[in-house]
Amino acid sequence: MTRVEFFFNVPDKLAKVAELCDRAVAKRRQLTIFTQDDVMSANVQALLWQHSATSFLPSAYPGSPEQDDVAIIVDKEGTQLLQDDILINLKAEHPPFFSRFKYLVELVGADDADKALARARYKFYRDRGYQIKSTDESAS
């Protein structure tokens, strides 16, 4: 069964994505980042490729020639899933295909609108019997 983890009160979702990707890639895990649209996909790609002054996190879009050579796929459609390890959801709704992944990460900002949408996703997973881990980023 998919493990679900919510990170609440995340001040910068894209920075959190980079942090999670950095840790996962170091452990040789594969990730799919499910984005809202083309703009968000481009922002995630740019951030990952410029992760720090001394390193980068190579990523690709599904269907690109590099897709088989990277651990991170940035995808706004979810129609060409290339792995089933970790899914980071940046959309407002739950991904319809989340249950094929071993681990699902949901990031929630500090604003009320984002929290309301996250509560609906949380309830959706809970009502289907998924155990959910919650981490409050404001506490760290």
Q: What is the CATH number of the domain that holds 37?
A: 3.40.50.10110
CA 22 to CA 112: how far, in whole Å? 28
pLDDT of residue 140: 66
The answer to whether 61 and 44 are in contact (CB under 8 A) is no
Both structure tokens of 15? 């920075």
Name the stretches of the chain with pLDDT < 70.
Answer: 140
The answer to whether 43 and 57 are in contact (CB under 8 A) is no
Within the chain, residue ranges assigned H as helices are: 13-26, 38-49, 112-127
Which residues make beta-bridge pairs with 111? none
**CA-to-CA dists, residue 102 to 43, 83, 87, 108, 129, angstroms:** 25, 10, 8, 20, 15
pLDDT of residue 124: 98
Q: What is the pTM of this model?
A: 0.95
CA 95 to CA 115: how far, in whole Å? 17
pLDDT of residue 50: 86
Domain hosting 90: range is 3-139
Give me the residue label for tokens 């996250």. Answer: 118
Beta strands 59-60 and 86-89 are: unpaired
Quote the number of domains for the chain.
1
Instruction: Provide the 3-class DSSP secondary structure of residue 75.
Output: strand
**CA-to-CA dists, residue 9 to 18, 50, 56, angstroms:** 16, 24, 26
